[in-house]
Structure 1
Amino acid sequence: MAKTNKAKEKARESGRKLVAQNKKARHDYTILDTYECGLVLTGTEVKSLRQGRASLVDGFVQLDGGEAWLHNVHIPEYTQGTWTNHAARRKRKLLLHREEIDKLERKSQESGHTIVPLQLYFKEGRAKVEIALAKGKKEYDKRQTLREKQDRREADRAISAVRRRQRA
């Protein structure tokens, strides 16, 4: 119970409320660089996000004509919305500085590089998305990462078990 209260306090202090995150992206890609950018949203999209409803699983970023667009992110329709409701999987414009867009465009042209969304959150009342320049992992890289994570977890368990025995 104390952990959840601490987590809530920490989130309140940073002014950041997480709506959705893409854990699969960190598994499938090696993250090279991350960027925080704003989103151009309609009113019903913001209301739906405030209810904590979104999915980044199939999302990707495409650079088109000097602008960045977020595709395939699912923000479900707002339940109390009327005929003004939004389309759930429409493309959404990302707000980035010109030099960031140019840098992303240069880097994403290299083979194997892509831009994926990692997190969708509210920061000081504004919807933000964290995107990453990423390079696709091969199957053996994924297995190696899982093995390292498991080894780290086992080592932490062994250390904590030794500390518990020492205290007793």
Structure 2
Amino acid sequence: MSKKKKTPSNVLGENRKARHNYTISESIECGIVLKGTEVKSIKIGKFSFPDSFCEISNGELYIKNLQITPYDFGNINNHHVDGVRKLLAHKMEINKLERKIVEKGFTLIPLKFYLKNGRVKVDVGVCKGKKMYDKRATIKEKDIKRDTERVFRIK
């Protein structure tokens, strides 16, 4: 029997706009360093990341512009809304990403936040910005696909 690749079923948030604005060449799974109240806020879905991006500095991977709303039932030790948070990935993966970013002009964009074994994981995509005509072409392909499915469903 062949093993099927498990897809994350506990998706907490997905950046659908990134799939429209960027072509994604590959993606890697990273852990994220969070405090207790940040984890609780993320698990109940009180975070947003439409403008967030990842950056490599000093051989470490960081996510910027990730906004996590303070936990309602937290105390004085609640976290700050904006902040730079560290992503956890292997050194070899970070070096590979850094080479791609520098040489080919790619960008690191968080695509998805999900739970895996009770831990918050981030799916980071290696992306390149689309031109306007590329965006129109993908919209046209989606429309054609939807129309053909509609025709076959009616018959």
What SS is found at the alignment partner of 1:73? strand
Larger radius of gyration: 1
Is 1:59 aligned with 2:52?
yes
Higher strand share: 2
Q: Aligned residue for 1:133?
A: 126
CA drift at 1:32: 0.3
Is 1:89 aligned with 2:82?
yes
- Contact kept in structure 1, 2:27 and 2:125, CA below 8 Å: yes
CA drift at 1:111: 4.6
CA drift at 1:84: 0.8
Output the aligned Cα RMSD: 1.4
Which aligned runs of 4 or more in structure 1 are off by greater than 4 angstroms? none
Distance in 1 of aligned mates of 2:32 and 2:9? 15
Q: Which runs of 5+ in 2 are unaligned?
A: 1-5
- Contact kept in structure 1, 2:8 and 2:114, CA below 8 Å: no
Is 1:154 aligned with 2:147?
yes
What SS is found at the alignment partner of 2:24? strand
Q: Percent identity among equivalent residues?
A: 45
Normalising by structure 1, what TM-score? 0.85
Q: Which runs of 5+ in 1 are unaligned?
A: 1-12, 163-168
CA drift at 1:87: 1.1
What SS is found at the alignment partner of 2:86? strand
Normalising by structure 2, what TM-score? 0.92
CA drift at 1:15: 6.6
Higher helix share: 1
